[in-house]
Amino acid sequence: MTLDQDLQALIEKECNKAHTHALILRVQSGDGHVDFKGSAGDAMPDTGFPIASIAKMFTATLIMQLAEEGQIELDQMVQNILTDVDLSGLHVVKDMDYGASLTIRHLLHQTSGLADYYESDLASDLKAGRDRSYGLKDVLQMTRALPPQAAPDSGRSYYSDTNFQLLGAVIERVTDKSFDEMLKTRICAPLGLTQTGVLDGTDVGLPVYHEDRMLNIPRILASMGPDGGIISTLDEMMIFLRAFMQNQLFQPQTAAQMRQWNKLFFPMQYGYGLMRIKLPLWTTLFRATPELVGHSGASGSFAYYAPEPDIYLIGTFNQTDAPRRPIGFMFEVLRMIAKHEGSR
């Protein structure tokens, strides 16, 4: 069979597993000789879909652009920008209140140690399909009600959507424009993306599921904005991912800075709005696996670049019950491509 036929068979096999209602996949090599787009289950390859936390790559891009232009500094305290937002009591660790001293770099590198507002009752509401809108004030209230993960700069990254909600507020305050306006002006327009933006309305495209429950949650998704509220397509995400990895959206020195990797949770490391997956040899029977750089989402969305084979992978399961499932799937795709490349 051809590579395209094998990849189509793979996604159909994956889609036959429990709690899998749809799967879409886009794969492309740097030189374009591998170029696959396919779907299985209740999906078409050109269907729009919620990209979930891949949105953090867009937010990080906007922050780094503003930093390059001198409109912000990464070590600038967020409280000095969001002067009318009370950050006191937001992050208290061992009776020390760090809220007012948090910097943009802390948020971007996930080194703030802030609690993740998503882990409040919002996560259970989302999975139960209880839709609601919320704003930054609500995010901070949810965060204050949760125990902090660590003090800032504790030596590793701690994943928190609160960090990127605050970064979205910084972007809006510094530019005096909405996050969606900045997204479309600075990223979508230059790249020719017309179907990418923060969800506006109720059409989320490919529906998100939790196990066998279809979730009707447009207000939650729209509220996520800079940490997870963007809708896009496979083709447009491929354009963005290639532009991001090829430094078309910022300077090469900025790209290098964004790849300062911290331990996150196995097998993830975190940079500046970027994840890195590199499996240790002891987990793979001492067979080397490619490095992956990009971002995943809680809905089973993924957008990664594998530098060594020069392969880009984008897709989604649109299923919240197994957010780490794309990791093994992506390695299966890469193994299949390597097998075909070896027989060329």
**Would you state the pLDDT for residue 48?**
97
Q: What is the pLDDT of residues 107-146, one digit of tens each?
A: 999 999 999 999 999 999 999 999 999 999 999 999 999 9
- Residue 276 pLDDT grade (very low, low, confident, very high; cuts 50, 70, 90): very high
In angstroms, rounded to a whole number, what is the distance separating the alpha carbons of residues 155 and 215?
37
- For 272-286, letters b (16+ CB in 10 Å) and e give bbbbbbebeeeeeee
Q: How far is CA 78 from CA 12, 82, 85, 254, in A?
A: 46, 6, 10, 20
- Residue 148 pLDDT grade (very low, low, confident, very high; cuts 50, 70, 90): very high
Phi, psi of 115 (to 5 degrees): -65, 155
pLDDT above 90 coverage of the chain, percent: 92
**Would you state the pLDDT for residue 215?**
95
pLDDT above 70 coverage of the chain, percent: 97
Q: Give the tokens for residue 212.
A: 């066998």
- Residue 32 pLDDT grade (very low, low, confident, very high; cuts 50, 70, 90): very high
**For 49-53, 101-105, 281-285, which range has the lowest pLDDT when averaged over its residues?**
281-285
Q: What is the pLDDT of residues 171-189, one digit of tens each?
A: 999 999 999 999 999 999 9
**280 pLDDT exceeds 90?**
no
- For 50-80, letters b (16+ CB in 10 Å) and e give bbbbbbbbbbbbbbbbbbeeeebebeeebbe
- Residue 74 pLDDT grade (very low, low, confident, very high; cuts 50, 70, 90): very high
- Residue 284 pLDDT grade (very low, low, confident, very high; cuts 50, 70, 90): low
Phi, psi of 134 (to 5 degrees): -155, 160
Using H for helix, E for strand and C for coil, what is the string for the chain? CCHHHHHHHHHHHHHCCCCCCEEEEEEEECCCCCEEEEEEECCCCCCCEECHHHHHHHHHHHHHHHHHCCCCCCCCEHHHCCCCCCCCCCCEECCEECHHHCEHHHHHCCCCCCCCHHHCHHHHHHHHCCCCCCCHHHHHHHHHCCCCCCCCCCCCCCCCHHHHHHHHHHHHHHHCCCHHHHHHHHHHHHHCCCCCEECCCCCCCCCEEECCEEECCHHHHHHHHHHCCEEECHHHHHHHHHHHHCCCCCCHHHHHHHCCCEECCCCEEECCCCEEECCCHHHCCCCCCCCEEEEECCCCEEEEEECCCCEEEEEECCECCCCCHHHHHHHHHHHHHHHHHHCC
Domains of the chain and CATH, by start: 3-53+200-342 (3.40.710.10), 55-189 (3.40.710.10)
- Residue 279 pLDDT grade (very low, low, confident, very high; cuts 50, 70, 90): confident
**Would you state the pLDDT for residue 281?**
55
Q: What is the pLDDT of residues 286-327, one digit of tens each?
A: 567 899 999 999 999 999 999 999 999 999 999 998 888 999
- Residue 8 pLDDT grade (very low, low, confident, very high; cuts 50, 70, 90): very high
pTM, whole model, 2 decimals? 0.96
Q: How far is CA 279 from CA 218, 235, 282, in A?
A: 35, 28, 8
Q: State the average pLDDT over residues 197-219.
A: 94
Mean pLDDT estimate for the chain = 95
- Residue 52 identity: A
Phi, psi of 278 (to 5 degrees): -140, 105
Q: What is the pLDDT of residues 103-112, one digit of tens each?
A: 999 999 999 9
Q: Which residue has the higher pLDDT, 88 or 286?
A: 88
Q: Note whether 293 and 307 are within 8 A (CB).
A: yes
Q: Give the tokens for residue 263.
A: 């331990």
